[in-house]
Amino acid sequence: MEVLPSSILSSIILASILKSGFIYCQSSDCYPQDFKALNGFHEQLDTPIDGWDGPLLACCKRIGVMCESSANTPSRVVGLILGNRRLKGEVADSLAGLDHLRVLNLSGNHLGGLFPAKLFQIQSLEVLDLSYNDFQGSFQDSLNLPSMKSFNISYNKFGGPLLVTVCHNASYIQTLDLSSNNFQGQIPANIANCSSLQQLFLSSNYLSGKLPGALFQLQNLRELHLGGNEFSGQFDARIGNLVNLVKLDISDNSFTGEIPDSFSRLVKLKHFYADSNRLSGPLPASLVNSPSLSHLRLSNNSLTGLIGINCSSMIHITDLHLRANLFYGPILEELSTCHRLSYLSLGQYNAGKLPSSFRNLKALKHLIIQNASLLNFTAALETLKHCKSLTTLILNRNFMNEEMPQKPNLQFRMLQTLIIANSQLRGFLPVWLSGCPKLQVLDLSMNRLSGSIPLWIGMLNHLFYLDLSRNSLTGDIPGSVGSLGNFANLNFSTEDKSSGIPIYLKTPGRQSLSYRHIGSLPPTIDLSTNKLTGPILPDLGNIKWLHILKLGNNCFSGNILEALSGMKNLETMDLSLNNLSGVIPGSLTELNFLSNFNVSYNELHGEVPLGGQFQSFPISSFIGNSDLCGLPLGPCLPPLVQPDQNHYGVRAVWKLEESNQHRPATCSGRKVKVSCLGSPNPLMVLVNTIVPLYINFNFMIC
């Protein structure tokens, strides 16, 4: 039996509740008790509900109110469905007066405070949806909801210990969703009371400890979501008791030990997520032979041994996430017979060559193999070009020190994301990249690529994230960069936003891996730390949608042009450590989103422009220039040379003393200004080296 998506399940519950005899907004009668309850609720809210105007309006005519009447009885309110109505304030306990209420849906509002305990006592209530609000407080011990079928309080701030009293007397409860709250402590043993449960969501709380044995008695469970908590202990072999499981998620916890060999009993299991735990040992035979599994996620554990996936058994496997483990040895040819594989991530030592049989993986869309000592990049690309569905290729930290393949016959027509960073690759930016017309994300940072940035880069119409930082690229930025398609006219069509793509985040001092969704990457051009020269062209100003521009640590020269203020969405502009001269144009103050700005260590002069965020940027955004002044720097006065008591002879202006240590090697050989003690005339000195120059100046005779 297929498991139904929870939304369908709740609409089926809803449909069966709202069966015949149900009148929606028709009766003008209003049962007095219901009238009072609804008015009390309405009055306590901070904002009026649209369509509830006039306190005398009949209950059943109000928007979101559902009534039911039969021949002899007055119609009663059975449903209050006010999801996504921007309701604010607290919920009045008068609402408990609706003692025929079966469905209460207040999801997606801004309701807060304590949820009245009395409402957790409505005997007729079958569906409660309070998700996406700001309700808080610990969960009351006094729940009595004998008719409850679907209970959803996810995405609130409920906290305290997890008391599953919601299941007391609730013999029909199928769905319990307590995810994304602040519940703490262990899962109590009385979870066994929830024996009719089919879906249990406890993800993203602060739950801890071992899983209680009682949990493994819930024979009807089809979905168990425990991800994003602090559970620990051995991952329990009794999981095999839950024979109806279709989805099991224990990711982002601290489970230890080996994965139990219990999967032959879980004949319906399709999704097993256990990434980011501390699981060790080899993959058990029942897991790598599971005929039902379609999604297996075990990334970021300490699993060892060979990756012995048996494709002859695992006939449904489409997603296999195994990266960041301690697997060892070559990538097995066998994997290429998993014909349905769409997502494959691997992490192992000494992976050797990518098997050429991988060319048979026609369904493969995402391939991620990082830090696996892969060899022969040319051969790997020759193989992968046959995988016609490939959209994501991430091969960081492989092919160490190999030459970038240049064969023009390589084509990846569907490729959207190509990330091969941190691999010390040599050679030029390969022309075959121009045969990847759908490329959106290109990250070749931290290699040793040389040569110039080719003109054809501007033909990649969908590119919105370009990172070529930390290479040895030379020459100018071609003007065509300014016509990069998506930069100028952003149109995200990235598919599969759900699958996190691990990307190197460059934090100073260390490199860490982080899951980012491709769709959440900010539009970026990062060319920093290369040997680029020439002017920063006004064409860049065309790139209206750019969020991040990093050109630091090169040797760009000329002026910063007014036209750059065309990048209206820019948040970060880093031009530090270059040879830029002239003034900072005042037009940059029009960049309303600019929050990181750095022009330090250039040859700029004049006043820091007044306005925008400019006066709030730190001094380190501007240091190391010859003559910048004005807030946040000192006032624009004629330069004052302080006599230096400790040294004789010449000393550099203090700003330059600091800067000289940072100057990039590319930019050495230029002149810097120093002031001679006692002399009113500044002196131009040719700088030929990046060693701390102030020492030389200090001992230079004036």
- Which residues bind to ligand NAG, rule: CB under 6 A? 6-7, 10, 14, 83-84, 105, 107-108, 127, 129, 131-132, 144, 150, 152, 154, 168-169, 175, 177, 189-190, 192-193, 199, 201, 276-278, 289, 300, 310, 312-313, 349, 371, 376, 378-379, 489, 491, 493, 513, 515, 552, 555, 557-558, 576-577, 579, 581, 598, 600-601, 618, 620-621, 662, 667, 669-670
Token digits for 264? 């032959």
> Quick one: 552 or 566, whose CB is closer to ligand NAG?
552
From residue 83, how far is each of 49, 106, 579 by CA, in Å?
12, 5, 58
Rounded to 5 degrees, what are φ and ψ at 180? 55, 55
> Quick one: 67 or 667, whose CB is closer to ligand NAG?
667
> Quick one: 6 or 36, whose CB is closer to ligand NAG?
6
What is the Cα–Cα distance from 675 to 664, expressed in whole angstroms? 23
CB of 607 to ligand NAG, least distance (A): 19
Rounded to 5 degrees, what are φ and ψ at 337? -95, 5
CB of 55 to ligand NAG, least distance (A): 25
> Quick one: 35 or 120, whose CB is closer to ligand NAG?
120
How many Cβ atoms from other residues are within 10 Å of residue 462's Cβ? 20
CB of 699 to ligand NAG, least distance (A): 25
What is the Cα–Cα distance from 197 to 202, expressed in whole angstroms? 13
First to last CA, the chain: 91
> Quick one: 267 or 642, whose CB is closer to ligand NAG?
267
How many Cβ atoms from other residues are within 10 Å of residue 616's Cβ? 11
> Quick one: 454 or 500, whose CB is closer to ligand NAG?
500
Token digits for 405? 């393949």
User: Could you tell me which residues come within 8 angstroms of residue 160 by beta carbon, excluding any fewer than 6 positions away?
Assistant: 137, 138, 139, 182, 183, 184
Using DSSP's 3-state secondary structure scheme, residue 163 falls into: coil
> Quick one: 147 or 310, whose CB is closer to ligand NAG?
310
> Quick one: 175 or 675, whose CB is closer to ligand NAG?
175
DSSP letter (8 states) at residue 17:
H
> Quick one: 55 or 669, whose CB is closer to ligand NAG?
669
Sign of CA dihedral 432, 464, 321, 402: positive
CB of 450 to ligand NAG, least distance (A): 18
CB of 116 to ligand NAG, least distance (A): 17
CB of 490 to ligand NAG, least distance (A): 9
Name the residue with the smallest CB distance to ligand NAG.
83
CB of 50 to ligand NAG, least distance (A): 14
User: Per DSSP, which regions of 392-509 are E strands?
Assistant: 392-394, 417-419, 426-427, 441-443, 448-449, 465-467, 474-475, 501-507
CB of 532 to ligand NAG, least distance (A): 11
| Among 288, 285, 257, 256, CA closest to 272 | 288
What is the Cα–Cα distance from 596 to 575, expressed in whole angstroms? 11
Alpha-carbon 450 to chain mean position: 32
CB of 667 to ligand NAG, least distance (A): 5
Token digits for 24? 């929606």
